[in-house]
Amino acid sequence: MSKKKKKLKKTINTAVCHSLERMTTLKPEDRFHLFLEIGEWLFNDLDIDDELMVPQFPRKETPLEQSE
């Protein structure tokens, strides 16, 4: 498995764990809808082409506050 795919899987697993922890504070209806969303991540095969990836843009040398 490629490094990029491993990183994506780790990110998804972290998001699922965080979402499951959130379920303890949600109302039953909201918990149900969150569970359906998590179910899509768990039970559907991962297709990298369908995932929205945000590119890492190069950072400027100085923060915006200092450039003025």
Per-residue confidence (pLDDT) for residue 63, from 0 to 100: 61
Per-residue confidence (pLDDT) for residue 15, from 0 to 100: 84
Angle between helices 3-22 and 28-43 (to 10 degrees): 160
Q: Which residues of the chain have pLDDT under 70?
A: 61-68
Nearest to 2 by CA among 63, 66, 46, 50: 46
Instruction: Report the alpha-carbon distance of residue 68 to residue 11 in Å, rounded.
Output: 36
